[in-house]
Structure 1
């Protein structure tokens, strides 16, 4: 499996600001996370991603989500981003990120999109929005995908339903609003991070 973290849970910090990002990422790393995604529709994302790569880049796979354009990939490469997560399947964007040495988790919903992403070089896939499709759909899709490709469930994943998606064949999940909502306290982030880590450990014993 070509996935470069110990814990296959991606923390999605949508809406986080540069002045608060350090404390939230620290809380996530303390809980055991080692993959951090800062979506590009967050305020001043260049500063947040650049700072986090500089501060925590040796401890975690840090990069961007909602990556849609080639120019964004070039900016991320300059910042030292190691992770690119897309909501869709854009072969040119995926290929560009791979050429820059980044780990790409490409968003897809169908077999055609999944195989297009893999052909472009994506090392992992995210089924989005997972809660809308459900575990049975993902299990069926997994049956036709190469078994070594890590598949992540993203969209609507909670500590309570995570085990269903792991049982369906997902290696892990991308965690959005149930882990972090813009403006929430660091204490809340730490609490939810611990809940997700515990849920993952219980489901994979």
Structure 2
């Protein structure tokens, strides 16, 4: 069992937002990632939702050693190994299956598994995970749900993701069991289409400045 503190937690001490990224090309991945890291968001979740995702992870990890590159939408143990081999330092899954929980032990990469209910959170805790993704955050009950989970499960910490924007983020970050939030608002599609990397950097700076609890 991986019943230990996630190595991601120290990296998130002053980083309140993990950008959730979906890239259409490696060139796009490099430009966007550089803008985000320069803006103060060094933890990047590159989702496995496009054909170039693995190549993008490999390229960004090599080009930006100061970044902590992660892979999102990891569903299987095979994908977990593939993203690790591509250079990802952490993996994020929308949920947690018994095979993924078992495969994550000793895999050489940190897994941030997703949960949406108290039962799922308990199963993740039983498997040794204490830092969890709360997904889909807004649809699964949002801030009230996380407050409710904090009572019976005080040992758990969360990264809520799904439906969160810059206006909602501070409310989540104010919760004692929330470490950070995941969001795609820092990379608007129109900014990517217009190659406005400066705007993305500014949004990253704004996100970095969001206040979490002390």
Please classify the TM superposition score into its range, dividing by the shorter chain length. 0.7 to 0.9
Q: Which runs of 5+ in 1 are unaligned?
A: none
2:206 corresponds, among 175, 179, 195, to: 195
> Which runs of structure 2 are paired with 1:150-169 in the superposition (5 Å)?
150-169=157-176
**Aligned equivalents of 2:126, 2:31: Cα separation in 1:** 38
**Residue equivalent to 1:144:** 152
**Residue equivalent to 1:89:** 96
Change (3 A) 1:171 1:76: same
Indicate the RMSD between aligned Cα atoms, in angstroms.
2.0
Task: Give the secondary-structure state (helix, strand or coil) at the position aligned to 1:19.
Answer: helix
Do the aligned residues in 1 keep the contact of 2:96 with 2:113 (CA within 8 Å)? yes
More helix by share: 1
How far the C-alpha of 1:16 sits from its partner, in A, is: 4.2
How far the C-alpha of 1:61 sits from its partner, in A, is: 2.0
**Residue equivalent to 1:5:** 11
1:46 corresponds, among 37, 44, 54, to: 54
Do the aligned residues in 2 keep the contact of 1:153 with 1:172 (CA within 8 Å)? yes
How far the C-alpha of 1:123 sits from its partner, in A, is: 4.8
Q: TM-score, normalized by length of structure 1?
A: 0.87
Q: TM-score, normalized by length of structure 2?
A: 0.84
**Residue equivalent to 1:76:** 83
* Alpha-carbon displacement from aligned partner over 1:122-174 (angstroms, at most 9, x marks no partner): 35211111122121111101222243x32111111111111111223311101
Higher relative contact order (CA 8 A, sep 6+): 2
Do the aligned residues in 1 keep the contact of 2:94 with 2:113 (CA within 8 Å)? yes
Q: Which runs of 5+ in 2 are unaligned?
A: none
Do the aligned residues in 2 keep the contact of 1:49 with 1:64 (CA within 8 Å)? yes
**Aligned equivalents of 2:173, 2:59: Cα separation in 1:** 32
Runs of 4+ that moved beyond 4 A? none
1:63 corresponds, among 60, 65, 70, to: 70
2:22 corresponds, among 10, 14, 34, to: 14
Q: Does 1:126 align with 2:149?
A: no
Aligned length: 200
